[in-house]
Structure 1
């Protein structure tokens, strides 16, 4: 178990939250689709689920590096408008896998965490989900070092995007240089750095970040799967191949840190890339929470379903950690085949407000969740 986590009794699968309830929001959206009982032949052959200890991150262990003196830049005095207040919860579960290879980091207050005193944007927060494979070495190393590489980069904080990209490459090269870590170990990496109202998502792999915007799911990262058209073209251009959805027939992701048994020399172009894709969002009052999760969640649950479920839970108890637990429970009910890690980050101390839908003479035949999905599809085509 990683530092900064605490254990709890085994997860009991007797939740009152049913799949039917996820499809409705507030006062009566139509029922959403039930999970398929025989989704594929592969699903029926999944290993049996074992009761295991569920991990709840309460606080993150302080990383061992010295920042010197950093300046604290507070919001302008008397400035009006929305300023986020960060609070979060996280839940990790081994699932049906024999070993737990996920890691995560959760920091709601960067200024306090880094003991910053000069020249540092405030408020600030940092979160990360790291889905390891081939052992836990790479995921642990990235978790413990990625923030250090970002903060210590020469471009931080003047150009945060450059600093984050550099940090991903540097930590990848550090994995190659280490003599104590397994070179065949690798990890995907999804991070969220929030400074003032700027949310910057960086992703390399198939973890996913989803923003809850007044009940609508906004995906802030792309799943880097080898059979994705853009990734396939990049892989084949660099001499790699995609076989049955696997990069060079070996790896189910197109981007990852580590895995140096599959990469060439440092700095050379490689089909397996450690370079992250970045997306920046300026948070507003409509942005209620962020969900960050590994593919064990998204393999069995849509982004909109997760947002709908989380919003409904927050309206009931306003506890992001309970929301994380419910998302994990639902993924297990849907027979996920992987480790599970999910994080819910709220941007306000208050629960989401109820969405009032004006009454019309024409009866709706689509749920609110369905309306959000339709609106997202139309926006994507614009």
Structure 2
């Protein structure tokens, strides 16, 4: 079973006090192999409870990546971290391999299970209906990459430019965030009778003046109006008049055939992209050594966040979690190198077996943070 293969990242990260330490809220896995090359992970905490979760599943024939960025609390991202990959395993096994439909079914099943959890927890914890998580998933099998996304975490491809020397950044996911004019127009078209579906509030655009992302796992009160109208829930959250759901768990899915020009992938929560552009991040990966590259990206983002507050990085490291959220968000970065994505056949001419056969999962243990 997939769960028996799980290996929490506390065995792989350099935790505070370990050799090469540093920032007590920054953990990293510098370099590990996967089916098509190497990968690197880094996570930094800003919230009182870590709301970001990240996973890399490696098998002899496939690699799966997950970045789950929670909001309103850590419950939804932890839930997705524990349930989405098992659903991917189940549906891929049933259908003989990974596909866009398999990924969509896994998202739907995870959303449905979280809804059941909310209903069970509702009497004692009504505020759980306001907890949600962005969800970014990548799957590489048979030299095909699938990227599925809810929210504003982002996947960016670094590919070799036309001259063969430079690197080009290509965004592979769509930001479901009302900061994007296209997303605001989409919501306005879906809610023509609601002139306040998107409101400019506290310096940013928000759905109903509340939330910036338009798709997620969870956020049940914005998908099921009955929760929002319940007096028990209204004791904890201001009542919001809803005629219909204003958020969805329908992922956008992109399929990309990997080729020799495709060098690496960066999967990261929006905490990274708030500080670094796609181009800057890709250029940094291209020009620096592999080992510790995810940590390098996180530190670059933290340096940018510190500069905006006219601070030094060393000063930022001294700020405790919770307070630090005023300066930057939780940040999760996973860099996937694509060394062996150059064709689906082995050197002996046999075809790679791309059925879903999990071997190991590297997953951040939420309970430690």
Interval of TM-score (by shorter of Structure 1 and Structure 2): 0.5 to 0.7
Q: How many residues align?
A: 273
Structure with more helix by fraction: 2
Unaligned regions of 5+ residues in structure 1, if any? Answer: 16-50, 61-82, 112-122, 351-382
In the alignment, what sits opposite 1:163? Answer: 102
In the alignment, what sits opposite 2:38? Answer: 87
Does 2:16 align with 1:9?
Answer: yes
* Secondary structure in structure 2 of the residue aligned to 1:254: coil
- Contact 2:31/2:38 (8 A) holds in 1: no
CA distance in 2, matches of 1:9, 1:140: 22
Q: State which of 254, 260, 271 in structure 1 corresponds to 2:220.
A: 260
Using a 3 Å threshold, how does the CA distance of structure 1 residues 285 and 192 change in structure 2: closer, same or farther? Answer: same
Structure with more strand by fraction: 2
CA distance in 1, matches of 2:301, 2:265: 18
Q: State which of 230, 235, 253 in structure 1 corresponds to 2:187.
A: 235
**What does 1:350-361 correspond to in 2, within 5 Å?**
none
Does 2:106 align with 1:101?
Answer: no
- Contact 1:87/1:108 (8 A) holds in 2: no
Q: State which of 217, 225, 248 in structure 1 corresponds to 2:169.
A: 217
Using a 3 Å threshold, how does the CA distance of structure 1 residues 142 and 269 change in structure 2: closer, same or farther? Answer: farther
- Contact 2:222/2:246 (8 A) holds in 1: no
Q: State which of 77, 95, 100 in structure 2 corresponds to 1:139.
A: 77
- Between the two structures, name the one with larger relative contact order (CA 8 Å, sep ≥ 6): 2
CA distance in 1, matches of 2:206, 2:54: 25
TM-score by length of 1: 0.65
Unaligned regions of 5+ residues in structure 2, if any? Answer: 1-6, 161-166, 227-242, 306-326, 342-369
Quote the offset at 1:8 in angstroms.
2.3
CA distance in 1, matches of 2:288, 2:31: 22
In the alignment, what sits opposite 2:262? Answer: 287
Q: Deviations over 1:249-301 (max 9, x none)?
A: 111211111011222179x9632111111111111121111000011100111
* Secondary structure in structure 1 of the residue aligned to 2:300: helix
Superposition CA RMSD, Å: 3.2
Moved over 3 A (4+): 57-60, 154-159
**What does 1:198-347 correspond to in 2, within 5 Å?**
198-214=144-160, 215-236=167-188, 237-238=190-191, 239=194, 241-244=197-200, 245-264=205-224, 270-314=245-289, 318-319=290-291, 322-335=292-305, 337-347=328-338
Quote the offset at 1:7 in angstroms.
4.2
In the alignment, what sits opposite 1:76? Answer: none
CA distance in 2, matches of 1:279, 1:148: 21
